[in-house]
Amino acid sequence: MVQQITVLSGGMGGARFLQGLMHGIAAGTLPGVASDAQVTVVANTADDIWVHGLKVCPDLDTVMYTLGDGIDLERGWGRREETWSVKTELAEYGVEPTWFGLGDRDVATHLVRTQMLDAGYPLSAVTEALCRRWLAPVFGQGVTLLPMTDDRVETHIAIADPETPSGRRVVHFQEYWIKLRASVPAEAVLFVGLDDATPGPGVIDAITDADLILLPPSNPVVSVGTIVGVPRVREALVATKAPVVGLSPIVGGTHVRGMAEQLLTAIGVEVSAAGVGLHYGSRSDGGILDGWLVDERDADQVARVTESGLACRAVPLMMSDHDATAAMAAAAIELVR
């Protein structure tokens, strides 16, 4: 019986997948998974940004609000029934960044987080405190949310800028995604602080002690890529006794939403379901996966993936509702049973 599931998650893609996973656990539709299975989420923190003196952790918050039913369903991020007075007032002062979406309800989360960080608590302890409001009432002890590290790590993107002497400019990932809409080519992706980061409390144990590890269809570069880039995480994935299965965020040759295509191109990985699976690689060959699910539209790529030693199947991979997403989780588990 699978009792411990660990999921390496980014923001929206990871959170939606987790919703379906929890739905499948509750409904008993996941093969071999106990009805009281515990889920540990190791979340990316390299998207984190300081805005107006506040520490904002977009992926942690997206997972927390989504699972805690506080998310704005249409936007897929931030709080439901949000108002924007703080943002409007800040813009009246002309203070940058005016492009960052800081909602009034959301600000409370960032105020609590920043206050606790200022008082000396590590991000992991802050996250635990925030989750007491959002996750404990819904799941009890069933879901634990862990930042990948307590250290400051930031993804930066190098873009072309003919007006600078080097012809290049480096922007924070959030500026690339939100302000520039990922509309200019990414020349390089830089993970500031990643090499010196220490895994957050519980992160390595969550990988080592799991019965099953799932990589949701999160961004392979700036979500899963950063988590796996935390020193010792890759080694733990390679060594764990648990099977590791991933689901492709690339469907039909591009991302379903977001900017994975631009970033995969920047790091020289083929933008395809097979390309990402082979980039993660088979554990039988020094990689981190035992199995890889691709969408049914990419069924012609299954053979290529299988040849690398990975179990692979093509199934519907669109997270259109909880049932469809739970079926994806079930297929992932079936692949390595």
Residues near ligand GDP (CB under 6 A) are 9-14, 59, 62, 217-219, 223, 248-249, 251, 255-258, 260, 317-319
Our measurement of the distance from residue 207's CA atom to the centroid of its chain's CA atoms, rounded to an integer in Å, reads 16
CA atoms of 213 and 227, how far apart (whole Å): 13
**Whose Cβ is closer to ligand GDP: residue 257's or residue 337's?**
257
Q: How far is the CB of 151 from ligand GDP (least distance, A)?
A: 19
End-to-end, the C-alpha distance of the chain in Å comes to 11
Is position 47 an interface residue for Ca ion (rule: CB under 5 A)? Answer: yes
Q: Which does 311 bind (CB under 5 to 8 A by kind): ligand GDP, Ca ion, none?
A: none
Please state the closest distance from residue 167 (CB atom) to ligand GDP, in A.
Answer: 28
Residue facing Ca ion at closest CB distance = 11
Residue 70 contacts Ca ion per CB under 5 A: no
CB of 19 to ligand GDP, least distance (A): 12
Radius of gyration over every alpha carbon of the chain, rounded to an integer in angstroms: 19
Which residue's structure tokens are 């379901």? 273
**In whole angstroms, how close is the CB of 299 to ligand GDP at the nearest point?**
14
Structure tokens, 263: 């970033």
Rank residues 43 and 207 by Cβ distance to Ca ion and give the closer one. Answer: 43
DSSP letters spanning 144-204: EEEESBSS--EEEEEEE-TTSTTSEEEEEHHIIIIISTT-S-EEEEEEETSTT--BPTTHH
Instruction: Give 108's contacts (C-beta < 8 A, 6+ positions apart).
Output: none
Q: Between residues 10 and 68, which has the closer beta carbon with respect to ligand GDP? A: 10
The residue at minimum Cβ distance from ligand GDP is 13
Cβ atoms 44, 226 nearer than 8 A: yes
Q: Which among ligand GDP, Ca ion, none contacts residue 13 (Cβ within 5 to 8 A by kind)?
A: ligand GDP
Please, what is the minimum distance in Å from the beta carbon of residue 86 to ligand GDP? 22
Q: Which is nearer to Ca ion, 59 or 211 (CB)?
A: 59
